[in-house]
Amino acid sequence: MSGPVFAARFAGKVLVVTGAAQGIGRAVALRAAAEGGKVLLVDRADFVAEVAAEAGDNAAAFNADLESWDGCDAAMRHAAQTFGGIDILINNVGGAIRMRPYAEFEPDQIDAEIRRSLMPTLYCCRAVLPHLATRGGGTIVNVSSNATRGIHRVPYSAAKGGINAITQSLAMELASQNIRVVATAPGGTEAPPRRIPRNAEGDSEAEKAWMSQVVDQVKQSAPMHRYGTIEEQAAPILFLASDEASYITGSILPVAGGDTG
Ligand SMILES: NC(=O)c1ccc[n+]([C@@H]2O[C@H](COP(=O)([O-])OP(=O)(O)OC[C@H]3O[C@@H](n4cnc5c(N)ncnc54)[C@H](O)[C@@H]3O)[C@@H](O)[C@H]2O)c1
């Protein structure tokens, strides 16, 4: 693991991190474990078990398809059974499958973006609630995106707008129950080549060209004019998840070099 470790901010806490096999979720899970948390890493990719092994003795892996209610419910139950409860849920599963002008999207492709980037968080937020209630409170961190304003991925933008709505409305509903609900809105983030591609069918030449237009737009929109790193995304997620953010709820923190989405 790279990046600084400041303190055992998660000692005594149980975290569930979704989409933890690679990318931002992987970095969040490894650092949470390094800071003393007991972590369930959930992913539909089998190699999430390798990441859990890397995270150490206080981590475990669980395979589930979080685009289904049953997958989300099973993951939360497994975390509670394995570690005795849940304190923190980090809803990280998501990501634009295709980049294309909206006029080029087929109806089934629109549905697929909503299933990938809205439904896992909508279902997992609901599935975790009884477990947080048993603990007398807890924290949900949703990973949104600055792509709520951006080109060539309107269905994904709509899904992430939904994530922002879940965050604000659930925060209002649950504050009296000692449950905080917060989000980060990452901008473009550099990552090593993905073991699991966003689009299992592979990108066409046209999609590669549209992707390049998205990269230009993202860099141009951000005052810092650069992509962030995975560690620059993991750090604010874990700040919001920790008790250091105890007076913050309903907030969506842009982490996008100054692009506010
Ligand atoms: N990377 C970026 O540039 C960027 C920018 C803005 C927002 N985000 C958001 O950050 C989050 C993480 O992005 P990333 O680039 O690290 O993701 P990624 O695509 O690299 O990894 C996503 C992980 O989620 C898993 N996953 C996907 N669908 C699943 C399902 N149905 N059930 C269980 N697991 C599933 C994958 O197997 C994979 O391990 C996403 O919500 C994404 O929208 C990323």
pLDDT tens, per residue, the chain with 261 residues = 555 555 799 999 999 999 999 999 999 999 999 999 999 999 999 999 999 999 999 999 999 999 999 999 999 999 999 999 999 999 999 999 999 999 999 999 999 999 999 999 999 999 999 999 999 999 999 999 999 999 999 999 999 999 999 999 999 999 999 999 999 999 999 989 999 999 999 999 999 999 999 999 999 999 999 999 999 999 999 999 999 999 999 999 999 999 998
pLDDT at 89: 99
The atom number, within ligand 1, closest to the CA of 198 reads: 19
CB atoms within 10 A of CB 253: 18
Annotated domain spans of the chain: 14-255
- With the most atoms of ligand 1 within 8 angstroms of its CB, the residue from 196, 230, 237 to mutate is 196
pLDDT at 53: 98
- With the most atoms of ligand 1 within 8 angstroms of its CB, the residue from 16, 31, 43 to mutate is 43
Closest CA to 84 of 12, 20, 177: 12
Q: Which CATH class is domain 14-255?
A: alpha beta
Q: Is there a catalytic annotation at residue 156?
A: yes
Query: For residue 91, what are the contacts with CB-CB under 8 A and spacing of at least 6?
Result: 18, 120, 121, 124, 125, 140, 141, 142, 143, 163
pLDDT at 261: 85
The torsion angles phi and psi of 121, rounded to 5 degrees, stand at -75, -40
